[in-house]
Structure 1
Amino acid sequence: MRKGVALTDPSKKMVMDIGGTGYLTFRQLQALPTDPDALLKKLSGDAKNVEASRVTEVVVENLGAILDDATLLPDLSAALYRATAKLPGVRVVDHVKDAAGRQGVGLTFDDAPKGYAWVFDSSSLVYLGTTKSALLGIGVADKTGEVPVSSS
């Protein structure tokens, strides 16, 4: 399940609450803070009504929901990694494979399903995906529904 933001009119309103299912638009991603502490505060917004033991779980879900798309915004990606490092129960795991079989370094969390980790290239630290999914490529298209032009 992906967590995201739902806005009634994203073209006119840039104030958002993190919660519910869905995807963030590029403008919503751009509006997220790039300071790790401010980002954690924003992403923990919908955790105010959950028990204290689940707050980190909610934040991790929110971080994971935007990690794939944040790759397009280097400052936001850096803030995500720095924010994640501040969470309790985060551990680095060596020799982890993403769903496509690419080996890298992983980040896992307390209460994550057994064997689940975010996977990063060991040399470049580029986000590859998770042990359950793989990010095989990203790109930008001019219009919704268009396939990005290959750079190769």
Structure 2
Amino acid sequence: MDELELIRERAETVGFATADDLAAARARFLAATRTGPRRSRRWFWAAGATTIGLAAAITAVVTLAPADRIGVGAGVANADPVKVLTEAAGAALTEPATAPRPDQFLYVKTALPEHQTREVWLSVDGTRDGLIGDTKSAGCRDGKAPVYGANDPTKEGTLEDCVPYPAYRADLPTTGDAMLAYLEAHHSGEKGDTNAIGKDVIDLAYEQALSPASYAALFEAAAKVPGLQAVDHVTDGAGRPGVGITWPVSPGSSPDAKPEVLVFDTTTHRFLGTDTTAVMAKTFVDQAGQRP
């Protein structure tokens, strides 16, 4: 076993230190090199340094932080997709837990390719008229919703049957196993289509609002989907760097089919968007058309 192999083994065992811990360790090391005898400083840099000495020096730094404090880290190579999603779940639990009022609207601003922007105002309880861009989005009241933006002008404003589709999903599971069962029962593709589940995860994370416990359960459920892969050094649709998580496309898909890629911030582990889109703002407002 050479020096690098031993260092790698030790690092994987004890975990990496935080930037603050490393700064403190670096300061102690530099102080030692300035004040210690010349012979004690030379061993670390000399080509003949022993493997044990080098590994011990690395261990002294990496053990400053317990393994459960390891982050994804900016530009990390070979990220663990399960760990990324687990940390995203933990970040979701830190979000405010106060539910919106039924008469409010979920405002989401999304950056799209070619410098385009999408803004939506969606009814929290699904009963009030919202907006998708400049177009009205009908709310469902007493089983009826008005028709807006119809190709046939005679149908504009007429009523059609509906069920409310709330933007705030208070009905979703709050554990990873239950959320996975929900996704498998309601996903948009065929049974076993993991990429379809990935798309549904994105839909729930994008223009819908969940409780912090349900957001955490969503990412915990995603971590249980087979075939997960991490995409390192990826950026979201706004160019923000992060770490990506993706699933393989379903068998029989077009050769041009590309898997969905969820992008998470490498420091906060919060969901940023995808590799082609980005969530720029997401909050509750009191009126359709109102911006935070």
* TM-score normalised by the chain length of structure 2: 0.39
Compute the displacement of 1:128 (Å).
0.8
SS at match of 1:124: coil
1:146 lines up with 2:286 in the alignment: no
Compute the displacement of 1:87 (Å).
0.2
Equivalent residue pairs, number: 126
Q: What residue is the counterpart of 2:247 in the other structure?
A: 109
Compute the displacement of 1:147 (Å).
2.1
1:90 lines up with 2:231 in the alignment: no
Answer yes or no: is the 8 Å Cα contact 2:198–2:260 preserved in 1: no
Could you tell me which runs of 5 or more consecutive residues in structure 2 were left unpaired when the two chains were aligned: 1-160, 251-256
Q: Deviations over 1:54-112 (max 9, x none)?
A: 43233222212111245653212211111001000111222110011000111011118
Answer yes or no: is the 8 Å Cα contact 2:183–2:197 preserved in 1: yes
Answer yes or no: is the 8 Å Cα contact 1:93–1:106 preserved in 2: yes
Q: What residue is the counterpart of 1:118 in the other structure?
A: 262
- C-alpha distance 49-134 of structure 1, shift in aligned 2 (>3 A): closer
Give the alignment partner of residue 62 of structure 1, picking from 200, 205, 218: 200
Answer yes or no: is the 8 Å Cα contact 1:115–1:131 preserved in 2: no
SS at match of 2:214: helix
Within-5 A mapping of 1:1-152: 8-10=162-164, 25-27=166-168, 29-46=169-186, 50=190, 54-69=192-207, 73-111=211-249, 113-114=257-258, 116-143=260-287, 145-149=288-292
What value does the CA root-mean-square deviation take over the aligned residues?
2.7
Compute the displacement of 1:26 (Å).
3.2
In structure 2, how many angstroms separate the alpha carbons of the residues matched to 1:33 and 1:58? 19
In structure 2, how many angstroms separate the alpha carbons of the residues matched to 1:38 and 1:123? 28
Looking at CA atoms only, which structure, 1 or 2, has the larger radius of gyration?
2
- C-alpha distance 99-47 of structure 1, shift in aligned 2 (>3 A): closer
Richer in helix (by share): 2
Compute the displacement of 1:49 (Å).
8.4
* TM-score normalised by the chain length of structure 1: 0.70
Compute the displacement of 1:46 (Å).
3.8
Quick one: higher RCO (CA 8 Å, sep 6+), 1 or 2?
2
- C-alpha distance 70-78 of structure 1, shift in aligned 2 (>3 A): farther
Answer yes or no: is the 8 Å Cα contact 2:188–2:200 preserved in 1: no
In structure 2, how many angstroms separate the alpha carbons of the residues matched to 1:131 and 1:69? 17
Q: What residue is the counterpart of 1:17 in the other structure?
A: none
